[in-house]
Chains A and B, each alone.
Chain A
Amino acid sequence: MRWLFNLSFRHKIPLWTSFLISVSIFVVGAALMTRAYQDMKTAVVISAGNLAHTLANTLAPALLHDNVWRAFEIARSPIRAESAKTPVAVDAVVVLGRDQRIFVSSDPDTLPMLADAATLGPDWLQLSERLGTPSEEAWPLVLEPQDSGYLYLILPIADKDAQLGHLVLRYAKSVFHPWFIDTIWQGLGIGLLVLAVLIPINWYWGSRMATPLVDLAQRMGMMLNSVPDPLPPDLYPYHDELGQLFQAYDRMVLALRDKAALEGQMVKSERLAAIGQLTAGIAHEINNPLAGLMTTVDTLKLQRNLDPRALRQLELIDRGLMQIRDTVAALLVQTKVQARPLSPHDLEDVHTLIQPQVSKRHIRLDWSAAMPAELPAPASLVRQILINLLLNAVQAAAEGGHVSLWLGRKAESASCLSIEVRNDGVLLGDEQLEHLFEPFASTRPGGHGLGLWVTYQIVTQLDGRIAARNVDGQVEFVVNLPLGDTPCSTASP
């Protein structure tokens, strides 16, 4: 039985409702049938009562004058042909005399004249006893002997206050049954028709309700492993409790996604911060002996008695050391420089500086810089960020491609300087996006992979945010730098 309750709602709702509909139809049908049977019986008794009164009145003179034939004709008049049997058609009409003998009956074969009623069988014996014991009966008397296929209705025949005898109407219950079975078949037919209409509606409605539930249950089940997708908006567009549940689920999924995104961002930031600390530490450890080495090499180079071969080797060492110094210097981003405010001239300079590269690769450059006279941002660092991002974009864009710059303050975050650089080159993969700002994570052959690392270091040291994404078929880098002490409210686009 338990498996029935473990069924999916997809089946359980239609099954249960179908079951309930069927039970209701059956119960209502049965109640109506019972009622119909009672009504039929009542109708028979009422009709019999009317008939009995009419017959009793017309029979009284015949009985009074011992007019057998007249009484027979009257008794026979309500008897119909076999084919016209209905539940209200009387089966036999019997006139009993005062002596409880049959004065006349509509069926002389089985109920012959002058026969004593008590000798005609158990029904008649019971009837005769009932009539023999004087009681305060309400007429007409309805008699339904047990184990009998007949129902009897008895009315006295009287002329003025003289009781002449009794009129007995006999109804065959066997005639009820085919009629009643007809009614049952009719009821059953209507019931099946109602079922045929209701069950498909019910299955449709049930699955309409169950499908989102089942979908929801599946998605909830997946929730431990990953954040599932929100439900399709047209799955259940109503605002009942089910609709509210789905809406709550959707809100929860969105919140979980934001949380996951935030967590990813944090992990990335922390990793980058850790790398920054590590590289800074290593750079310091290298710089100290490096300074000594370079001083020693310089001192050695000043000696006059050096043969040319040794001098060449010293210069080789010197160039190697200088390369190490440059690399280390690049890793060790220093932002603690004296800050000059950013002016439109700086932008013009940057534009001029990158122009050769732009021309060389036939890049179309959109330049959109909304700049007031001055902005409280460190000019040299912003220049470096711009040059890095723009040169990156120019390199990433296809030959004859398109690069755009937008610089300014957004309406919703006026205390921020926003820089957006886009190129139409190859889009970034997930793996690339994950490690984009790490050192030596170059995205193209020939790059040393320090440009974005440096940019990242500068931006984070200025309490700003940098993010990269693919948007509208382009790769976009967005930098937000705080102007003054207020941090940027829009961390990422």
Chain B
Amino acid sequence: MSRIIESSLPNRNRRRWLLGSGCLAAAGLIGLTRKSQAAGGKLRVGMTPAFLHDQHSMLGEWRAFMAASLQRPVEFVQRDSYRETMDLLRLEKLEFAWICDYPYLHLKDAVRLLAVPLYQGRPHYRSYLIVRKGDTQTRSIADLSDAVFAYADPYSNTGYLAPRYEIRQLGRDPAGFFRKTFFTWSHRKVVEAVASGLAQGGAVDSYIWDTLAHVEPTLTARTRVVWRSPEYGFPPFVAHRSVASADFQLMQRHLLDTARSEAGRRLLGLLHLDGFTIGSPALYEGVARMMRSFGEA
């Protein structure tokens, strides 16, 4: 971080001298710097545990496909928690990112909605409440009171916000509902935690659980989906607000066109997605409502 500030200082000073001072102007200047830096330059895309981001060969293929299509160098920046990717976005170290809907709402002042993946033809997904295969008693989250529970990530909707909201709906305090909770920092690891018996229950992204059921059926076979949440807007691709509109449109067009090419369809097949749509912030109203109930946003 310090390296970037240093390198941008001369520029910044010059422009400050030209345009006068002011917080707003400075912010605009940083954006300007970013834009000029990004123009024809490298595009950095943050990848989060919103999907199975540990399929490295698929990621490599996707990055190459994207770079070839955009005719720009593309870098995928992987972080193991939403928090880190969110920080990178805030620090403008990323132009684009695929994040969960919950962080999107957190960052909605800093980012713009770029595109929403289509899962099973629709830009929606759910939260699954899973238990171990052998557990035949549990019917809802209410039965898991006093259990050890695995959350995915504190900034995950389906892996944290949704189950807590559900507990809140039961009239209980999520903070004391379970005997113990912990974060696995990935949906996939929630499935592992429940499958191995470390946790008696877990909340997981429906898209990831369903994909895992294809990719690693032996793992999901050791778990059972107890409860399905209502639909939420699918984790979106976002662009930092400072991204030049040309780049924004370039990337948006690329994503929307993915399903049109053979290579793109192949990639979408690997991702278990059907394509991308422009989407609308209104998709995320349900999440926003839950956040409001916790006094967030």
A112 to B196, CA, bound (A): 10
Nearest B-chain residue to A67, judged by Cβ = B182
Q: Is the CB of B197 within 8 A of A108?
A: yes
**In this complex, what residue of A is CB-closest to B193?**
A69
Choose one: B150, B184, B185, B197; the contact of A112 (CB below 8 Å). Answer: B197
Beta-carbon nearest neighbor of B151 in chain A: A69
Per the bound structure, the CA–CA distance linking A114 and B183 in Å amounts to: 16
Determine the chain B residues whose CB is within 8 A of the CB of A109 once the complex forms: 197
Q: Does A113 contact B (CB under 8 A)?
A: yes
Q: Which of B148, B150, B197, B199 has the most CB of A within 10 A?
A: B197
Tell whether, in the assembled complex, residue B189 and residue A69 are in contact, meaning their CB atoms are under 8 Å apart. yes
Alpha-carbon separation in the docked complex, A113 to B193 (Å)? 12
Which residues from 59 to 110 on chain A have a C-beta closer than 8 Å to any C-beta of chain B? 66-69, 72, 76, 104, 108-109
- Say yes or no: A69-B148 contact (C-beta < 8 A), given A108-B196, A109-B197: no
Which residues from chain B contact A68 at a C-beta distance below 8 Å? 180, 182, 198
Chain A residues closer than 8 Å to B90, beta-carbon distance: none
Interface residues on A, range: 10 to 19
* Bitwise interface map of B from 229 to 272 toward A, beta carbon under 8 Å scored 1, else 0: 00000000000000000000000000000000000000000000
CB nearest to A104 among chain B residues: B198
Mask, B175-212, CB within 8 Å of A = 1, is 00001101111000100010011110000000000000
Q: Are A113 and B180 in contact (CB under 8 A)?
A: yes
Tell me what chain B mostly uses at the interface: helix, strand, loop, or mixed: mixed
Q: Could you say which of A66, A104, A108, A114 contacts B179, with CB atoms under 8 Å apart?
A: A114
A114 and B196 CA atoms in complex are apart in Å by 15
CA distance A72 to B196 in the complex (A): 10
The answer to whether residues A66 and B148 also contact, given A108-B196, A108-B198 and a CB cut-off of 8 A, is: no
Residues of B within 8 A of A69 (CB): 150, 182-185, 189, 193, 198
Q: Which residues of A contact B196 (CB under 8 A)?
A: 72, 76, 108
Q: Which residues of B contact A114 (CB under 8 A)?
A: 148, 179-180
Interface size class of chain B, counting residues whose CB lies under 8 Å from the partner chain = 10 to 19
CA distance A431 to B189 in the complex (A): 118
**Shortest Cβ distance from residue A388 to the other chain B in the assembled complex, whole angstroms:** 125
Q: Give min CB distance, B253 to chain A, whole Å.
A: 39
A91 CA to B189 CA in the complex, in Å? Answer: 22
Chain A residues within an 8 Å CB radius of B184: 69
**How long is the Cα–Cα vector from A68 to B197 in the complex, in angstroms?**
13
Chain A, Cβ-Cβ closest to B185: A69
Most buried by A among B148, B182, B184, B193: B182
Contact residues in B for A112 (Cβ distance below 8 Å): 148, 197
* Residues of B close to A67: CB separation below 8 A: 182
In the complex, A108→B202 CA distance in Å? Answer: 15
Q: How far is the CA of A76 from the CA of B185 in the complex (A)?
A: 17
List, in ascending order, chain A residues with CB within 8 A of B183's CB: 69
Interface string of B111-152 (1 = CB under 8 A from A): 000000000000000000000000000000000000010100
A72-B180 contact given A108-B198, A113-B148, A114-B148, CB 8 Å threshold = no
Q: Could you name 18 residue pairs across A and B whose Cβ atoms are closer than 8 Å? A: A67-B182, A68-B182, A69-B182, A69-B183, A69-B184, A69-B185, A69-B189, A69-B193, A69-B198, A72-B193, A72-B198, A76-B196, A108-B196, A108-B197, A108-B198, A113-B148, A113-B198, A114-B180
User: Could you list which residues of chain A lie within 8 angstroms of chain B, going by C-beta atoms?
Assistant: 66-69, 72, 76, 104, 108-109, 112-114
17 more contacts with CB within 8 A, not counting A72-B198, A109-B197, are A66-B182, A67-B182, A68-B180, A68-B198, A69-B182, A69-B183, A69-B184, A69-B185, A69-B193, A69-B198, A72-B196, A76-B196, A108-B196, A113-B148, A113-B180, A113-B198, A113-B199
